[in-house]
Structure 1
Amino acid sequence: MAEAQLQQFLDKVRQLNAFVALSEADPILREALRDCSDHHAVVALARSRGFEIGRRWGETDPPAAAGDNLLAAGCPPAGEESITVLVEQPTWRLERIHSCQASSPPGFWYDQSEHEWVVLLQGSARLAFDGEEHQRELCRGDSLLIPAHQRHRVAATDPSPGSVWLALFWKEACGG
């Protein structure tokens, strides 16, 4: 581990420890922490008390210039996503998808004619699949194959700096 990463890790541990100590000393804060339903609510509560605990260890701020860096582009507005086609061929395409607090509209389901393989490069997300009782939670580095016509929807993505996906779409090869 490089010294800069070690310092980032130690700073996050210090902030987490201070936030825990404060929550143990303040019954109102402890109750508010208990009422948090997800990671983002805990991060927002900690931020309201002056602690920055949201960045996952090892994550850095994206570089300022986009260039060829998949994490460098600015975050879209809350509730939106931006899609960039990186490479496209007749039978497949590769997209970069950047989501910010995005979710599918109520009642909407993707029902794609293409297969989709996604990997989450930054952030986290929750996806719902038709017929599955529980949503799937994805974190940075997780990948998922979504067969054509498997109905699914985006339940939630991270707030700024957002969730960044790499998505490969393709159709079955035609039989001869």
Structure 2
Amino acid sequence: MAQEQLLQFLEKVRQLNQFVALTEAQPALRQQLEDCSNHQQVVNLARQNGLEIGRRWGELQEPTQPAQPAKQSNIFSSPCPPPGQESHQLLIEQPGLRIERIHSCGYASPRDFWYGQPEQEWVLLMQGCAELQFEDEAQSRHLGPGDSLLIGAHRRHRIVATDPAPGCVWLALFWPAVGAG
């Protein structure tokens, strides 16, 4: 097995383990997983939670579908998800770029869970206030409307808290890390 394939395999296993831990910590997410009827729905659910589990052995990139127009025209128009939840809406996906709208309502990552996706991520908080913690920083960061962050690939972070209804609305851009497959 080539070193690159081994690293890809180990990363997928790590991401799968994170997904299992997340579904065990969040009953609502576990129910969403139970409601999935095919592999792609599971992959999409994992992606909505910052995890990439869809690559198969030897695939360098996820197969992509042509970008579809967003179902809503106003980024602020959807209702807040239930307290303690997040909703994700894929706005654009094409090779090398994914843009999501995330709506958090009184949400916090599970206590021992850290995001650490293989992509670069830039987030812009457009509505509400949130507290974000990086594993390598002693103090969490308070974010308000208009604040943005660049989160390097594999940099472990978690959501400490987001505002209750009407919640936080985020715009998140994801792209491959330099030198990634």
Determine the structure 2 residue equivalent to 1:137: 142
TM-score by length of 1: 0.60
Q: Using the alignment, how far apart are the partners of 1:149 and 1:67 within structure 2?
A: 31
The aligned length equals 111
Looking at structure 2, the residues matched to 104 and 171 of structure 1 have their Cα atoms a distance apart, in angstroms, of 24
| Structure 2 stretches lacking a partner, 5+ long | 1-70
CA distance in 1, matches of 2:136, 2:179: 29
Output the CA distance in 1 between the equivalents of 2:138 and 2:177.
28
Residue 137 of structure 2 corresponds to residue 148 of structure 1: no
Q: Based on CA coordinates, which of the two structures has the bigger radius of gyration?
A: 1
Stretches of 4+ aligned residues off by more than 4 angstroms: none
- Shift of residue 172 of structure 1? 2.8
Q: How far off its partner does 1:173 sit?
A: 4.9
Counterpart-to-counterpart distance in 2, 1:116 and 1:73? 23
Match of 1:113 in 2: 118
What is the aligned partner in structure 1 of residue 167 from structure 2?
162
Q: Distance in 1 between matches of 2:121 and 2:84?
A: 22
CA-CA distance at 1:93 after TM superposition: 0.3
| Amino-acid identity (%) | 55
Distance change (3 Å), C-alpha of 1:67 and 1:128: same
Distance 1:152 1:82 in 2: 18
RMSD across aligned positions (CA): 1.7
Q: Specify the alignment match of 1:21 in structure 2.
A: none
> Please, which runs of 5 or more residues in structure 1 have no aligned partner?
1-65
Give how far 1:67 is off.
3.5
Distance in 1, matches of 2:126 and 2:106, equals 16
Distance in 1 of aligned mates of 2:148 and 2:118: 20
Q: Does 1:80 align with 2:85?
A: yes
Give the letter for the 1:159 counterpart. P
How many angstroms apart in 1 are the aligned matches of 2:75 and 2:89? Answer: 10
Normalised TM-score (structure 2): 0.59
